[in-house]
Every structure is written in C-alpha cells, then in structure tokens.
Chain A
Amino acid sequence: EVQLVESGGGLVKPGESLRLSCTASKFTVSDALMSWVRQTPGKALEWVGHIKSRDDGGEIDYAAPVRGRFSISRDVSENTLFLQMNSLKTEDSGVYYCTAKWLYCSSSGCYKGVDYWGQGTPVTVSS
C-alpha cells in the first residue's frame, strides 16, 4: 500500500528556516504529482505547492503566500520529497501534509488521480 511519511516539523522563530521531508513507499516520487498542503488550526486545507511528475515535465508551482520563500524538490535516490521553508512567518504555522496523486486499484481496475496523504508534521513559528 502507498505510504507517505513526513518529518522535519518543529518549533522555530520568525525568520528562521525549516526543511520538511516526505518519504514515499510503493511508488517512485518522480512518477507522481507530489504536493504539500497545510492546515492551520481550525481552518481548511491550503495548497502550498506541487512538483509535477517527470513525465509531465517536473514543473513546480507555489501558492502566492509562500512563493519566493518556500522551495519544493525531490530526491529519487531517497524516494523523498522536500519542502524547504525560509523566512518563516507566524502565519506559516500549522500541520503540513505531503500528498501524492497516484493509482487506486480495485477489483474493477485502476484509477490514476486520487491523493494519498501522509500523517502530517506540525510546524510552529513563534517568538
């Protein structure tokens, strides 16, 4: 079964940096559209950014609030997705999830395009 495991969250001060990791199993990170989604306390899920699959050109895009401060990358040898977060602000606090758009297979066939989610890693930015 597809599994995503995030790590790297923690408590940092405004202006500091943090790097989140998301290690995947049962598929290769470069074969899927991989995204980061965050959830602030009591609020909805917010798309942070994504990296397209190698076959789709590997294009990277970011949400406006994080563009220029956050950077998404992947390491196929480690089968891991990264989110480098610089110049962190208090409003960046929340639980960060990585997602992978991949196959769901059942007895009736396979469908490509559902999101698998990691368990989330909390980020707190506070002085």
Chain B
Amino acid sequence: QSVLTQPPSVSGAPGQMVTISCTGSSFNIGSNYDVHWYLQLPGTAPKLLIYANTNRPSGVPDRFSGSKSGISASLAITGLQAEDEAYYYCQSFDSRMNRSVLGGGTKLTVL
C-alpha cells in the first residue's frame, strides 16, 4: 500500500480533460513538501512531467498542469491525445519514512 494514494485508472476521450489525484498525509504533502509528477510510457523509464507542484520542465506541453492543496495534489491534462496514454506517478517526501515516496500510479486510457 503506497503512502501516496492515486486512483488506479482514469480515462477520457480525445480532446477532453482528466485529472489525477494524489492524496497523502500530514507527514508528506500536508507538511508542505513539494510534489512531482512522472510519466511512464510502456516499456520506458519514468520521466519528469511536473516538478515542485506546478512547474513544467522544458518540452512538456502546457496541456499538463499541477496543483497542490492541503494533503493532496492533482495533475490535470487538457486536450487529451492518444499519446498521453501512459502511467502517471506522483512523488513527495515523507518525514516519517525520511525518504521520497511514490504514489501507486494511475493508468490513463484515452478512449
């Protein structure tokens, strides 16, 4: 069981918007530790998608955005495209475990 909870799956039609939630606790997200999001395409390593809650690395389309509030964070993807179909993971630091922790991952299906 992951310290950060994500829905196992989400889906949406091309062009629509989806959001992926990441719920933690007072030991991680709620303690104001930054949240990062990673994208994993099939057969590849995870790649940084959003860092420090809301920032997009160079090359990441502005269709992807992150937010954080309280003990939760969210990743929003607008204008869904077929190539967005992948697994998405959130990450933060946990003070009780004294290390970075990952969410269980969410599989995005583009219908």
Q: Interface on A for B, CB 8 Å cutoff?
A: 35, 37, 44-45, 47, 50, 61, 97, 101, 104, 106, 111, 113-120
The answer to whether B105 and A111 touch across the interface, beta carbons within 8 angstroms, is no
The answer to whether B89 and A104 touch across the interface, beta carbons within 8 angstroms, is no
Check if B68 is an interface residue, CB within 8 A of chain A. no
The answer to whether B100 and A114 touch across the interface, beta carbons within 8 angstroms, is no
* Nearest CB in chain A: distance from B58 CB, A: 6
Q: Looking across the interface, which residue of chain A has its beta carbon closest to that of B55? A: A111
The answer to whether A47 and B57 touch across the interface, beta carbons within 8 angstroms, is no
Q: Looking across the interface, which residue of chain A has its beta carbon closest to that of B56? A: A106
A113 to B99: give the CA distance in the assembly, Å: 12
A114 to B47: give the CA distance in the assembly, Å: 10
* A35 contact set on B, CB distance < 8 A: 100
The answer to whether B51 and A114 touch across the interface, beta carbons within 8 angstroms, is yes
Q: Interface on B for A, CB 8 Å cutoff?
A: 2, 34, 36, 38, 44-48, 51-52, 55, 57-58, 89, 91, 98-102, 104-105
Q: Chain A interface mostly helix, strand, loop or mixed?
A: strand
Known: A104-B51, A104-B57, A115-B100; 11 extra A-B contacts, CB below 8 A, are: A45-B46, A45-B89, A97-B46, A101-B100, A106-B58, A111-B51, A113-B36, A117-B38, A117-B45, A117-B46, A117-B47
Q: Looking across the interface, which residue of chain B has its beta carbon closest to that of A117? A: B45
A104 to B58: give the CA distance in the assembly, Å: 10
The answer to whether B99 and A47 touch across the interface, beta carbons within 8 angstroms, is yes
Given contacts A104-B51, A111-B52, contact A44 B102 (CB under 8 A): yes
* B34 contact set on A, CB distance < 8 A: 113
A116 to B105: give the CA distance in the assembly, Å: 18
The answer to whether A47 and B101 touch across the interface, beta carbons within 8 angstroms, is yes
* Nearest CB in chain B: distance from A79 CB, A: 19
A56 to B44: give the CA distance in the assembly, Å: 31
* Nearest CB in chain A: distance from B21 CB, A: 16
* Nearest CB in chain A: distance from B107 CB, A: 10
Q: Looking across the interface, which residue of chain A has its beta carbon closest to that of B51? A: A114
* B38 contact set on A, CB distance < 8 A: 115, 117
